[in-house]
Amino acid sequence: MSDLKGRTAVVTGGGTGIGLACARRLAEMGVETILMGRQLDRLEDAAKTIAGARAIRCDVTDEDSVAEAFAAAGAIDILVNNAGIAAAAAFHKTPMADWQKIQAVNVDGLVRCSQAVIGPMLTADYARIINIASIAGLRGGAYVAPYTASKHAVVGLTKSLSLEYARTRLTVNAVCPGYVETQIVENAIANIMAKTGRSRDEAIAELAKTNPQGKLIQAEEVAEAVAWLCSPLSGSVSGQAITISGGAI
């Protein structure tokens, strides 16, 4: 895979999980990585494990925070929109505040960050936006309606932007993993255990069975797909929602 030496990438939600794995993989390709998220201490600890990485606090739900963070970041070639949250509940028991909280991070936050970089990207010689969506953005999901709706929005936005900016050097793609072994999935495991009385192993098996390969996805697998979409060799790939789900879709 062609290297990206001299390029700069922002990864939101970059302190843990998929975001951190993406930052590490991009750094291996020569990218200067900037980790963004709400918890600066965590970001700084993560940045110490990646050569040349920087940490910048950013709350994607706050317009001023986003503006300040991207101003501090400077010129950006690659944006990985990874910040996201999830929750599980019956739809008719979901408070509107919970619905809005998920949309505020997963959709509105992604829009703010994309708008922060997309202007300069339209005249740049190289530009990539990768949105971390989910297989939930391609199909329905019981008890996760707010999350599913948010990820459908991400996939739809990805396809629209890829067409809108097709005549520029910018490509816009989404990566749609199944259950990835991250803190969000740990929360889902704990929720299953609490609500059903199942053991941890049984809860993991419940999630893993959604993958025809019978396993949880690793963050590094998602990062490898992101790295390819960021590379020069993927220049004709845009508007795609690439699944990493063991064949679930």
Whether 224 is covered by a domain: the verdict is: yes
Pair (51, 170) in one structural domain: yes
Phi-psi region of 238 (alpha: psi -120 to 50; beta: other; left: phi over 0): beta
At 81, phi and psi to the nearest 5?
Answer: -85, 95
pTM, 2 dp = 0.93
Pair (200, 144) in one structural domain: no
Pair (94, 185) in one structural domain: no
Domain housing 237: 8-178+218-244
Pair (209, 132) in one structural domain: no
Whether 1 is covered by a domain: the verdict is: no
Pair (224, 238) in one structural domain: yes
Contact predicate 207/179, CB 8 Å: yes
pLDDT (0 to 100) of residue 56: 98
Pair (136, 210) in one structural domain: no
What does the alpha-carbon distance between residue 149 and residue 160 come to, in Å, rounded to a whole number? Answer: 17
Catalytic residues: 147
What does the alpha-carbon distance between residue 14 and residue 43 come to, in Å, rounded to a whole number? Answer: 7
Pair (153, 72) in one structural domain: yes
pLDDT (0 to 100) of residue 1: 57
Pair (143, 195) in one structural domain: no
Pair (138, 207) in one structural domain: no
pLDDT tens digits for range 166-191: 999 999 999 999 989 877 777 778 87
Pair (38, 141) in one structural domain: yes
DSSP 106: I
Average pLDDT by stretches of 10, the chain with 249 residues: 87 96 97 98 97 97 98 98 94 97 98 98 97 96 95 98 98 95 79 85 81 91 98 97 92
- Count the alpha carbons within 13 Å of 229 in the hemisphere toward its beta carbon: 30
State the total domains in the chain: 2
Whether 121 is covered by a domain: the verdict is: yes
At 134, phi and psi to the nearest 5?
Answer: -175, 160
DSSP string covering 151-202, please? HHHHHHHHHHHHHHTTTSSEEEEEEEESSBSSHHHHHHHHHHHHHH---HHH
Pair (199, 82) in one structural domain: no
Whether 2 is covered by a domain: the verdict is: no
Pair (118, 191) in one structural domain: no
Whether 164 is covered by a domain: the verdict is: yes
pLDDT (0 to 100) of residue 2: 63
